[in-house]
Amino acid sequence: MIARWWRSNLERFQLQLAKQDALFPLALLGCAAGVLSGLVIVAFRLLVEESQAALFPGGESENFEALGWQARMLLPLAGGLILIAIFRWGGKGIYVLGVARVMERMAYHQGYLKLRGFLLQFFGAAAAIIGGFSVGREGPHVYLGAAGSSLMGQWLSLPNNSIRTLVGCGTAAGIAASFNTPLAGVIFALEVVMLEYTLASFIPVILAAASATLISVAVFGNAPAFDVPAMRLSDLTGVFIILLLGIAAGMLSAGFIHMVQTIAHHARVLQHWQRLLLATLTASLFGLLLPQVMGIGYDSVDHALAGGIGLSLLALLVIGKLVATSACIGLGIPGGMIGPSLFMGAMLGSLFSQLSVLAGFHEHTGFFALLGMGAMMGASLQAPLAALVTMMELTYSPGIIMPGMVVVVIASLTSSELFGKESLFITMLKASGMDYTVSPVHVALRSIGVASAMSKSFVRSDAIIDQNRAAAVLEARPVWILINGEESPIALLQAVDLANYIEREHEDKDEDKRTIDLMGIPGKRLEIHAVHIRSTLLEAREILDQSSLDALYVQRQTAPGIHHIYGILTREMIESAYQ
């Protein structure tokens, strides 16, 4: 009884979610995805931070500098061996993770992410960060949130357009829980992963980001990721220096992207374990020579924001983080790229601040460091709006908006237009042999399920019927007649063609015509193919294009060998839904 009630209501819920504007059920799903993602991210952070606290002197996570040189070399070696073992026996062909993997699954697999990838990201990224590899935690957070939400949608057998929305919710939750910046999480999800700005996408994503932030705050407190004082531009003469910082950040991000691209491209000739081993040796070398670039590096970012790092060390840290992160990411370490870009931006901004003092311009060092962080994030990820919102939420200072807009736009234009660089995520996908293209039509069709566009005005009939059966078929006034074959439907006929045939037969008064062959009477018959009810309109259109057909029947398997048909979908219906 309970199982029957559950199946009945779940099916009604699934059909409702196929619509593009199903706000209330999507809002409920957004909350659920946010809570689930928040719990997963909290578990990941606890694993990383508690492990580091147990390893480091004084129980301080990220304090790699306090370790002896032997420990700084051995820690990456241990982490690298764990990574090699994890991917050797558990990878099964999954080597690209993080935000890039989420984007690829959204573009070509309707947001379906696997449990195997979830586990690889969880334990692989934890081993990398604890081991001191120069990677961030935000990319893993995004993947874990997106994968957890996607798996929830798959478990509930939700339509594919809803699973895509859940992936966006998990993405927003990942960014929001990383920095306590829920609005930045929303913008990042819409700007980078979902590529759409609609009410149906805003509402669930906002609720997911807020829910995940509440979970994170409940465990880790409301302290921001960085200690940033209130800031504003006190002298308009500093705009010139801000312009120069934007150009420098754009050049640095272009170099970062190019180096990652080059290393990933040349590393394709190596086996995956060989790449991981090479990254491990590189991380150990940096652990010996420049421990400040190990791990995420947020402790160094706090020092840069406070102006506590000297000029020469800042320059060294910019170059060191650039090389170390490019090697780790390009060689396949399963970590994030957002944290390292913020690190480099903070060091570059602090460097500009100290140089500006020589030019007689005095401004808080943290002001330029924060602008550098936003500029590097916006240019490297090609997500200027997300970078700007991140700066606003970190400072709670409206005075950062104008200079932030200037520096982010200049950096993004320098990287994309002057140097022709795409975002780090797309660069990683293409360097790994995976293409990534999107269009407004694809985005729109992916957001609508077939159940919301199909016609339910149809009846099923055998090909050979008598006059009585023909009258019964037309009695319900259907638009379509779905003609049965031996195992599945074989053709689609407009009901009006059967009605016209019967009318002509009646006028001829031909008593010999006692049966009707629906495959032989005059009329336009369409060859037909099946499409699952969970599919999106984009999947339906791809089936039509690949099979050179013009119609589909929407179905779902209810038992072995038994399929329930819900409706009819033609190419014209798909075009009408999009328009």
Per-residue pLDDT tens for 18-62? 666 677 888 888 999 999 999 999 999 999 988 888 888 776 777
Query: Looking at residue 512, what is its pLDDT?
Result: 47
Over residues 328-338, mean pLDDT: 90
Highest mean pLDDT among 341-345, 483-487, 540-544: 341-345
Lowest mean pLDDT segment, chosen from 382-391, 438-447, 486-495:
438-447
The overall longest dimension of the chain from CA atoms, in Å, is 106
Over residues 214-237, mean pLDDT: 74
- Which DSSP category does 64 fall into? G
Whether residue 74 is predicted with pLDDT greater than 70 in this model: the reply is yes
- How does pLDDT run across 276-321, given as a tens digit for each residue? 999 999 999 999 889 989 988 888 888 888 878 888 899 999 999 9
Q: At how many degrees (to 10) do helices 272-289 and 311-330 cross?
A: 170
Residue pair 135/297 in contact (Cβ under 8 Å)? The answer is no
**Nearest alpha carbon to residue 41 among 189, 169, 142:** 142
Lowest mean pLDDT segment, chosen from 268-277, 330-339, 442-451, 464-473:
442-451
Residue pair 526/548 in contact (Cβ under 8 Å)? The answer is no
Lowest mean pLDDT segment, chosen from 192-201, 385-394, 529-538, 544-553:
192-201
Confidence of residue 13 (pLDDT cuts 50, 70, 90): low
- Residue 486 phi, psi (nearest 5): -65, -40
What sign has the CA pseudo-torsion 370, 372, 375, 377? Answer: negative
As a whole number, the mean pLDDT across the chain is 85
- Distance of alpha carbon 358 from alpha carbon 350, whole angstroms: 13
Residue pair 465/473 in contact (Cβ under 8 Å)? The answer is yes
**Burial (CB count <10 Å: 0-12, 13-18, 19+), residue 197:** exposed
Whether residue 481 is predicted with pLDDT greater than 90 in this model: the reply is no
Confidence of residue 508 (pLDDT cuts 50, 70, 90): low
Over residues 398-418, mean pLDDT: 89
Residue pair 18/27 in contact (Cβ under 8 Å)? The answer is no
Choose the CATH number for 450-578 among 3.10.580.10, 3.90.1150.10, 3.20.20.70, 3.40.50.300. Answer: 3.10.580.10
Instruction: Give the CATH fold of the 2-221+231-444 domain.
Output: Clc chloride channel (1.10.3080)
Whether residue 434 is predicted with pLDDT greater than 80 in this model: the reply is no
Over residues 171-198, mean pLDDT: 86
Query: Looking at residue 322, what is its pLDDT?
Result: 94
Over residues 342-353, mean pLDDT: 91
For the chain, percent of residues with pLDDT exceeding 70? 88
Lowest mean pLDDT segment, chosen from 73-87, 239-253, 534-548:
534-548
Over residues 409-429, mean pLDDT: 90
Is residue 158 within a helix (H) or strand (E), and if so which, with residue range?
none
Q: Which residue has the higher pLDDT, 21 or 122?
A: 122
Token pair 């980078």 in the structure block, residue: 192
- Distance of alpha carbon 14 from alpha carbon 130, whole angstroms: 41
Over residues 520-549, mean pLDDT: 86
Query: Looking at residue 224, what is its pLDDT?
Result: 67
Whether residue 363 is predicted with pLDDT greater than 70 in this model: the reply is no
Confidence of residue 520 (pLDDT cuts 50, 70, 90): confident
- Distance of alpha carbon 9 from alpha carbon 7, whole angstroms: 6
Whole-model pTM: value is 0.83
Give the residue extent of every domain in the chain: 2-221+231-444, 450-578
Query: Looking at residue 17, what is its pLDDT?
Result: 66
Strands 551-559, 562-570: parallel, antiparallel or unpaired by DSSP?
A: antiparallel
For the chain, percent of residues with pLDDT exceeding 90? 31
Over residues 94-105, mean pLDDT: 85
Query: Looking at residue 409, what is its pLDDT?
Result: 94
Ranges assigned E (strand) in 387-476? 458-461, 464-466
- Residue 170 phi, psi (nearest 5): -65, -35
Whether residue 352 is predicted with pLDDT greater than 80 in this model: the reply is yes
Confidence of residue 2 (pLDDT cuts 50, 70, 90): low
Q: Which residue has the higher pLDDT, 362 or 516?
A: 516
DSSP, collapsed to helix, strand or coil, labels residue 38 as helix
Lowest mean pLDDT segment, chosen from 4-18, 325-339, 367-381, 537-551:
4-18
Over residues 502-517, mean pLDDT: 66
Residue 526, C-beta contacts closer than 8 angstroms, at least 6 positions apart: 491, 492, 493, 549, 550, 551, 570
Take residue 244 and report the two structure tokens written for it. Answer: 């120069």
Query: Looking at residue 174, what is its pLDDT?
Result: 92
Question: For residue 422, what are the CA distances in angstroms to 111, 160, 258, 298, 429?
Answer: 22, 28, 10, 26, 11
Q: Which residue has the higher pLDDT, 433 or 555?
A: 555
